Amino acid sequence: MAASSSAAPVLLRILSASVSVVNRAGRIIKDVMRKGDLGIIDKGIDDLQTEADRSVQHCIVTSLSRQFPKISIIGEEELDSEGKVLDEWIVTSLDSDVLAKKCPENLASIPEEKVVVWVDPLDGTSEYTQGLLDHVTVLVGIAVNGKAIGGVIHQPYYNYQVEKDVYKQGRTLWGMNGIGVFGIEKKAPCEGKRIITTTRSHSNKNVNLTIDAMKPDEVLRVGGAGHKVLLLIEGRAHAYVFASKGCKKWDTCAPEALLHILGGKLTDMHGNSLEYHKDIQYLNSGGVLATYDAAVHEWYRERVPEEVKKTLPP
Ligand SMILES: *[C@@H]1O[C@H](CO)[C@@H](O)[C@H](O)[C@H]1NC(C)=O
């Protein structure tokens, strides 16, 4: 394995390392959150979230940067270099399923220094506290030349309603342009009904106005950008509509990459594609509009009210 793995193109190795490290990240989240559930520590749930966020980001950033010192990694948490990084958080193994894939030619020659990795250590945590465990995801997005081209979504509590052992819950989806998406099966949403998913905790007048203009039969208010895109991929919603600022590049990079590979489309509310250069502003100031199928995206975009668009500079 060693010979072939070092010969693999660097993008494939970065994806492979990301798949390995998110599983470790998921275990850190479960360890930290369990302390709260078991009442072992006295801190509030916000402190637990912060501890999990920071530990997971240290785990992912340190693991990837040790192996790929020239990539740019941008994460949600501001970490000081003094921060505690436990040796047991460092994962440098490569996932062999990923390495077994053939990297498409146009990506095979991309050098390490051109790669930007966007990390959200813990997306959708405010829902965790309300028992909506599968809203939580760990997101590692990979961008080249400003475009999201691959990534990993780890859902640590997937299947929690059925599997009682927390350490057996969870799933990992990964994909790259020209290779495909693995770890999930795409399903088409039901016809004859329009289901929109949107924010659960950041609703406002414009968010509601925009959804009303699309006349949905059902609105799923859920947490996490990663989780909302999973609803699109699994056919549980037709569109993800968030006509507000607040969502960041690390929330959208991995979900966008996987959704696009599967034939969907994610843009801002104006229909502009999102950019992921390392020096870009982190905020998706134009909001987020995503559909399960690229062909229906225009229908939703046309219905975004002009007055709302004015508040969301592209
Ligand atoms: C948006 O709509 C939801 C669901 O009807 C409602 O609970 C919420 O208060 C609304 N928010 C605003 C700011 O109008």
Kindly tell me if the per-residue pLDDT of 2 is higher than 60: no
Model confidence at 101, in pLDDT bands (50, 70, 90)?
very high
Residue identifier of the C-alpha nearest atom 8 of ligand 1: 203
pLDDT of residue 49: 76
CA–CA distance, 184 with 28 (Å, rounded to integer) = 23
Would the CA dihedral through 67, 262, 146, 154 be positive or negative? negative
Is 50 a catalytic site residue?
no
Q: Mean per-residue pLDDT for 113-125?
A: 94
CA 237 to chain CA mean position, Å: 17
Contact 289, 159 (CB under 8 A): no
Distances in Å between the alpha carbon of 48 and those of 43, 86, 130?
A: 7, 17, 14
CA-wise closest residue to 239 among 269, 209, 261: 269
Lowest mean pLDDT among 38-47, 125-134, 299-308: 38-47
pLDDT tier for residue 52 given thresholds of 50, 70 and 90: confident
Tell me the CA distances in angstroms from 297 to 252, 290, 291, one per residue in order. 17, 7, 6
The best mutation among 199, 201, 208 to test binding of ligand 1, ranked by most ligand atoms within 8 Å of the C-beta, falls on: 208
Q: Ligand 1 centre and the CA of 205: distance in Å? A: 7
Q: Which residues pair with 150 in a beta bridge?
A: 142, 176
Among the listed residues 197, 19, 50, the one whose alpha carbon sits nearest the alpha carbon of residue 122? 50
Q: At what angle do helices 249-261 and 225-233 cross, to 10 degrees?
A: 10
Determine which residue's CA is closest to atom 13 belonging to ligand 1: 204
| Annotation marks residue 268 as catalytic | no
CA angle 88, 94, 99 (to 5 degrees): 170
